[in-house]
Amino acid sequence: MLGKLDWSAIPFGQPIPLIAGGVVLVGVLAVLMWVVVKGHLPYLWHEWITSVDHKRIGVMYILLASVMLLRGGSDAIMMRIQQAIAFQSQGYLPPEHYNQIFSAHGTIMIFFVAMPFVIGLMNLVVPLQLGVRDVAFPTLNSVGFWLTATGALLVNLSLVVGEFARTGWLAFPPLSELSYSPGVGVDYYAWSLQISGVGTLVAGINLVTTVLKLRTKGMNYLRMPMFCWTTLASNLLIVAAFPILTATLAMLLLDRYLGFHFFTNEAGGNVMMFMNLIWAWGHPEVYILVLPAFGIFSEVVSTFSGKALFGYRSMVLATMAICVISFMVWLHHFFTMGAGPDVNAIFGIASMIIAVPTGVKIYNWLFTMYGGRIRFATPMLWAVGFMVTFIIGGLTGVLVAVPPADFMLHNSMFLVAHFHNVIIGGVLFGAFAGFEYWFPKAFGFRLDERWGKLAFWFTFSGFYITFVPLYVAGMLGMTRRMQHYDVAEWRPWMIVAAIGMAVLSIGVICQIMQLVVSIRNREALRDRTGDPWDGRSLEWATSSPPPVFNFAFHPDVRGEDAYWDMKVHARKQALEHAVPEYHDIEMPRNSPTGFVCAFFATVMGFALIWHIWWMVILGAIGAFATFVVFAWRDHDEYVIPAAEVAAIDRVNLEERRSLVSMAGAV
Amino acid sequence: MNLLDPQGPVAAANSTILVDSVFIMLAIVVPTIVAILAFAFWFRASNSRARFQPDFVHSGRIEIVVWSIPALTVILLGGVAWIGAHQLDPAAPVPGTGSPVRIQAVSLDWKWLFIYPDQRIATVNTLTVPAGAELNFQLTSSSVMNTFFIPQLGSMIYTMNGMVTKLNLRADNEGKLQGMSAHFSGDGFPDMLFDVVVISPLSFPDWVASTAKTNAVLNEESYKKLMQQGIEKSRLTFRLDDPRLFDLIATQHIPPGPGPELMSDASRTHSGGDHAR
């Protein structure tokens, strides 16, 4: 009846996951209770859960990423404490628990923190920057988000029902095959990623189409803001790379469920095939994450320097070069497989070539600052912190692209430090910069600068205190994923890294405090202009938060930095006072399709993990039926009458005119 | 285990390339970081002496320079990578004094087996080698992937079931080094440490002779017992019954290790306590 599921799946004997799971469960139930009792449920359902508004979906993506950041961060804290104390002892985490934690940490941080964070920001901002009213496929967008949430839910469910993978975040076979990992851990891993992978692919298709097909009048490719370019590049990579991940995991699942032999030791299975396939996805994935971050920094550096981006065309070229080359370097993840010197050297050099366009980007940001008038608001702090940190990460990255150096450093703590250096210093700093930068746009009030700066300084210094010791440990021969160790010279560095982790945690607490304080003082921090940073691209041309239709009129773009252009224009012409003629606007209707579909996907995923076949069929039929019902819809749009558009837009125009005239007076 | 304290020519060459590459890159990285901080500081909005140049957004000359600097660096480093990858190919011979010693390493679930086919002996978790001689490793795995790595001797290499990888090393100085697995392989992974004992070439034959006197015999049967999952704390030694044992493992004539399912609870020597999951 319930497949492999019975009471032994609940870890009654293990206090840590049980208590953690219990606390989370109580927390979730308390929030749900509060929502129901206070009568917020209809609001949540109509305005958020069923919303197909790209801004709302973007916010929900970021909320998901933030919550999961706390989960993945807790894993990191537990690992750092374990390695600080597990010298010539077992520490406080037995191996099968420790191994789950580092596997979950990697999986969560990449798939459920970094990915939803950047996809959320792209969703929120790109249609606004392009001057359009929505993404290409609004309902599909909602489906994509909810499927990602399903994946996150399943990963967290493994904390209390069963176990998570104990194989590392890429689940290399044959360790991840049934013979060496008979539990449900790898199944939780694989099905979570299969389901959320579909969500990511859908989001990628949607954003590529949006950038290619939905641009406002005059917004040709070479007038798009840099963030739109990096979004295009990143989502092209998603569309090209995620099917590889899906296929690879499907093969692993066939091995595990139906006795196939793609990657098993026996019957001609080949683990080297898995290594190649997973990294053929895995390396582009790194650029899927970091390219949007590059875009965010381009916007931030340009805005806060009060200048257009230096070498815009060069930046576009560099972005697309990275997009293409990133597909040709995957083998550098396993130089130590013994492929031979020609193969290793070619992939080593190809990997280094990526450093060229990346270096160009750094220099272009540098020259954007040159001759600027730099305002050090929180987003700009993250940007400068990023530039310094990312260069160091780039250096160590190029270093491990040199095969003989990699022969010493592969899989070491040096490598761990390297990829955290680029992922924290690049992606996470970028996500935070974007969060601080676009928060006023999404919610209509700024974030508290004092807490924001504290968060930056703690995170920045915490990063170095945590990861410089890991570089050193790697140079002392320490390999990754050690549940305990006996080498005395590693110990001091592990202790320092744990202290660094504490500093990083303070950074996260400051980030939370910033949000709390800002929400409390939101009236004082209110942004009535829609343009709190003196921005340059079109998202700042509408009010904060933007109306559901984003723009009453499709803006007419006449050059790069479209909104800056308009502002200069308006100042010169001492403001137009012509009253525009408003039209009805058609917007997509809200739809529960995404949520319902994800509900059935969750049921199906859970059932597949536990081999509850009748429930698998139920979930599959439910998800398919949802799709059919949506496909049979009659009305998918509603009309906002011109009068309502006019009323909303006038308020915006008033505020904006007062802003421009004030600036003109100065 | 300091990587910058190499005890053999491979590690020495690896770490030289490592250090040289870092310095080549530092030559452009340090000025760039300084420039970032300097520009950010000088062009701060409150600095009235800095000249505001909002129209400085393109310059062909600077573009050429910013594309050239990283490109030239990469050309230089690419040369290092190409030459290094060829000279330090793990399979490339490493000339030494005396006759080379053939060693066949097998990673088992959570221990290392070293077979000396010419000497007809085998050891577990201890690798004894003569100083100065070329060491020819052939490596495979009994079950999951591992990586054979002796940090102070250099180059690591994967071990995979059903496949043989090759590695040549040389240890120059007598003494004790530490080896490990550098690829996560399951619960007992952190205990896959092994001692590397480098002895003088003169005493190596003596060591071989004394090891060959052991009663324990390594054959297919005892190998199958050894490959059960578990951690091995004692340093076992064997006489080698069949010098083709390694080939039987690598060609899967002996099936891969069983994993956790076939394992009896008693054979589990884990110190982590009871894992009844």
Burial of A440 (0-12, 13-18, 19+ CB in 10 A): buried
Q: What is the pLDDT confidence band of residue B159, given thresholds at 50, 70 and 90?
A: very high
- Sequence letter at residue A159: L
Nearest to A408 among B18, B33, B145 (CB): B18
Rounded-to-integer distance, Cα A321 and Cα A233, Å: 9
The mean of the pLDDT values for chain A is: 90
ipTM field:
0.91
Distance from CA of A32 to the nearest CA of B (A): 32
Average pLDDT over residues A479-494: 92
For residue A265, the chain B residue with the least C-alpha distance is B161
Query: Which pLDDT score, from 0 to 100, does residue B272 have?
Result: 39
Instruction: Name the percent of chain A lying above pLDDT 90.
Output: 69
What residues of chain A lie within 8 A of the CB of B11, using their CB?
Answer: 408
Nearest to A360 among B25, B66, B147 (CB): B66
Higher-scoring residue by pLDDT: A650, B196: B196
Higher-scoring residue by pLDDT: B272, A507: A507
Interface test with A, best of B30, B156, B165, B268 (most A CBs within 10 A): B156
- Sequence letter at residue A124: L
Q: 386-405 in A: which are within 8 Å (CB) of B? A: 387-388, 391-392, 394-395, 398-399, 401-405
Closest CA to A151 of A609, A661, A642, A627: A609
Query: Which pLDDT score, from 0 to 100, does residue B260 have?
Result: 83
Q: Do B151 and A477 touch (CB under 8 A)?
A: yes
Q: What is the pLDDT confidence band of residue B267, given thresholds at 50, 70 and 90?
A: very low
What residues of chain B lie within 8 A of the CB of A11, using their CB?
Answer: 277
The mean of the pLDDT values for chain B is: 88
Query: Which pLDDT score, from 0 to 100, does residue B275 have?
Result: 41
For residue A172, the chain B residue with the least C-alpha distance is B145
What residues of chain A lie within 8 A of the CB of B263, using their CB?
Answer: none
Q: What is the pLDDT confidence band of residue B271, given thresholds at 50, 70 and 90?
A: very low
Are A112 and A65 a contacting pair, CB within 8 Å?
yes
pLDDT score of A277 more than 90: yes
Distance from CA of A276 to the nearest CA of B (A): 14
Are A231 and A238 a contacting pair, CB within 8 Å?
no
Q: How does pLDDT run across A535-582, given as a tens digit for each residue?
A: 899 999 888 899 988 888 888 888 888 888 887 877 656 455 556 788
Q: Do A408 and B151 touch (CB under 8 A)?
A: yes
Q: How does pLDDT run across B191-232, given as a tens digit for each residue?
A: 999 999 999 999 999 999 999 998 899 998 899 989 988 888
Instruction: Name the percent of chain A lying above pLDDT 70.
Output: 97
DSSP A113: I
Q: Do A363 and B89 touch (CB under 8 A)?
A: no
Are A254 and A260 a contacting pair, CB within 8 Å?
yes
pLDDT score of A380 more than 50: yes
Q: How does pLDDT run across A416-473, given as a tens digit for each residue?
A: 999 999 999 999 999 999 999 999 999 999 999 999 999 999 999 999 999 999 999 9
Average pLDDT over residues A223-234: 94
Distance from CA of A275 to the nearest CA of B (A): 11
* Interacting residues of A27 by C-beta distance below 8 A, sequence separation 6+: none
Q: How does pLDDT run across A128-182, given as a tens digit for each residue?
A: 999 999 999 999 999 999 999 999 999 998 888 888 999 999 999 899 998 899 8
pLDDT score of A288 more than 90: yes
Query: What DSSP line would sit under B239-266, residue for residue?
Result: EES-TTHHHHHHTTSSPPP--STT--GG
Q: How does pLDDT run across A336-347, given as a tens digit for each residue?
A: 998 889 999 999
Nearest to A395 among B29, B157, B272 (CB): B29
Q: What is the pLDDT confidence band of residue A662, given thresholds at 50, 70 and 90?
A: low
Q: How does pLDDT run across A581-619, given as a tens digit for each residue?
A: 888 888 888 889 999 999 999 999 999 999 999 999 999
Q: Residue A398: helix, strand or coil by DSSP?
A: helix
Q: Do B80 and A483 touch (CB under 8 A)?
A: no
What residues of chain B lie within 8 A of the CB of A481, using their CB?
Answer: 184, 189
Nearest to B52 among A336, A371, A408 (CB): A371
Burial of B205 (0-12, 13-18, 19+ CB in 10 A): exposed
Q: Do B25 and A95 touch (CB under 8 A)?
A: no
Instruction: Determine contact: A349 vs chain B, CB below 8 A.
Output: yes
Are B124 and B214 a contacting pair, CB within 8 Å?
no
pLDDT score of A531 more than 90: no
Q: What is the pLDDT confidence band of residue B263, given thresholds at 50, 70 and 90?
A: very low
A538 to A17, A438, A531: CA distances (angstroms): 47, 12, 10
Burial of A618 (0-12, 13-18, 19+ CB in 10 A): middle
Are B109 and B227 a contacting pair, CB within 8 Å?
yes
Length reported for chain A: 666
Query: Which pLDDT score, from 0 to 100, does residue B268 have?
Result: 41
Query: Which pLDDT score, from 0 to 100, does residue A571 have?
Result: 64
Are B159 and B146 a contacting pair, CB within 8 Å?
yes
Number of Cβ pairs < 8 A linking chain A and chain B = 307
Nearest to A265 among B21, B51, B256 (CB): B256
Average pLDDT over residues B26-46: 93
What residues of chain A lie within 8 A of the CB of B158, using their CB?
Answer: 334, 336-338
Are A533 and A377 a contacting pair, CB within 8 Å?
yes
Average pLDDT over residues B18-45: 93
∠ CA(B177), CA(B182), CA(B186), 5° rounding? 120
Query: Which pLDDT score, from 0 to 100, does residue A665 have?
Result: 47
Query: Which pLDDT score, from 0 to 100, does residue A381 have?
Result: 95
Q: Residue B175: helix, strand or coil by DSSP?
A: strand
Instruction: Determine contact: A412 vs chain B, CB below 8 A.
Output: yes
Nearest to A405 among B17, B44, B162 (CB): B17
Q: Do B40 and A310 touch (CB under 8 A)?
A: no
Length reported for chain B: 277
∠ CA(A246), CA(A252), CA(A253), 5° rounding? 85
**How many CA atoms lie less than 13 Å away from B187 in the CB half-sphere?**
22
Distance from CA of A196 to the nearest CA of B (A): 26
Higher-scoring residue by pLDDT: A197, A1: A197
Instruction: Determine contact: A468 vs chain B, CB below 8 A.
Output: no
Q: Do A355 and B70 touch (CB under 8 A)?
A: yes
Are A218 and A558 a contacting pair, CB within 8 Å?
yes
Query: What DSSP line would sit under A492-521, residue for residue?
Result: HHHHHHHHHHHHHHHHHHHHHHHHHHHHHT
For residue A184, the chain B residue with the least C-alpha distance is B277
Query: Which pLDDT score, from 0 to 100, does residue A6 have?
Result: 80
What angle do helix axes A185-213 and A593-609 make, rounded to 10 degrees? 150
Rounded-to-integer distance, Cα A128 and Cα A215, Å: 10
pLDDT score of B273 more than 90: no
